[in-house]
A and B are shown apart, each in its own frame.
Chain A
Amino acid sequence: MPKTDDDALGPALERRLRRELNRVQPRFSSPRYASAAHPRVRTWRLAPVALGVSLVSILALSAFVATGSANPVVWTQRVVTVIDSNPPPTSEPSPAQPKAAPPAGAAHTPEHQAPATSEPREGSETPEPGRTPEPTESPEPSDSHSGSDGAGDSSHGSPAPIDH
Chain B
Amino acid sequence: MPALADLDSEAYEPGSREDFDRLYRTAYPRVYRTLAAILGDREAAEDCVQDAFVQAFQAWKRWRPDAPAEAWVHRIAVNRAISYRRSAKLRQIGEVVRRLGRPVHPADPADIAAQGDLLTALRSLPPKLAAAIVLRHYHGYNNREIAAALGVSERTVGTRLRQAGERLRAVLQPSFSLDAAGAFPSDQRELYAED
Provide the main secondary structure of the chain A interface: loop
- For A3, A11, A14, A21, the residue with the greatest tally of chain B CB atoms inside 10 Å of its CB is A21
Chain B 69-104 near chain A by CB (<8 Å), digits 1 or 0: 000000000000000000000000000000000000
Tell me which residues across on chain B come within 8 A of A9, comparing CB atoms.
133, 137, 165, 168, 183
B192 at the interface (CB under 8 A from A): no
How many residues of chain B are within 8 Å of chain A by beta carbon? 53
Contact B37 A21 (CB under 8 A): yes
Bound state CA distance, A31 and B42, in angstroms? 16
How large, as a class, is the contact surface on chain A?
20 to 34
Contact B119 A6 (CB under 8 A): no
What total count of A-B pairs have CB within 8 Å? Answer: 115
Contact B54 A12 (CB under 8 A): no
B107 at the interface (CB under 8 A from A): no
B116 at the interface (CB under 8 A from A): yes
A164 at the interface (CB under 8 A from B): no
Known: A24-B36, A32-B53. A4 touches B168 (CB 8 A): no
Name B's A-contacting residues (CB within 8 A): 1, 3-5, 20-21, 24, 28-29, 32-33, 36-37, 42, 46, 49-51, 53-54, 56-58, 114-116, 118-119, 122, 133-134, 136-138, 140-143, 157-158, 161-162, 164-166, 168, 172, 176, 179-180, 182-184
Name A's B-contacting residues (CB within 8 A): 1-4, 6-14, 16-21, 23-24, 26-29, 31-33, 36-37
